[in-house]
Amino acid sequence: REVEEAAKQREEIYRAIVSHASEAITLVDVETLRFVEFNDAAATQLGYTPEEFARLRRDLAVATAAPVA
């Protein structure tokens, strides 16, 4: 039980760090090139909404990203 609680606590810390980071953070599936996880900064910095970004593959997201002003 203590191991499960510690793992849950680490997961909550990880999610808080990623979601509040100002830098883009992504986790990509190497087989499909789909974004498994990402923070809002990743989508915003490439000119997408989080919903749009979630539907993209890594290769297409970078190739079609809107210029950032």
pLDDT tens for 25-42 read: 999 888 988 888 999 999
Q: What does pTM read for this prediction?
A: 0.70
CA gap 50, 33 in Å, rounded: 17
Segment 2-8 mean pLDDT? 95
Q: Pick the residue with more confidence: 66 or 18?
A: 18
Residue 65 has pLDDT above 80, yes or no: no
CA gap 14, 8 in Å, rounded: 10
What are the beta bridge partners of residue 35?
28
Residue 57 has pLDDT above 90, yes or no: no
Residue 62 has pLDDT above 70, yes or no: no
- Strands, E assignment, 1-69: 26-28, 35-38
In this predicted structure, what is the pLDDT of residue 66?
Answer: 56
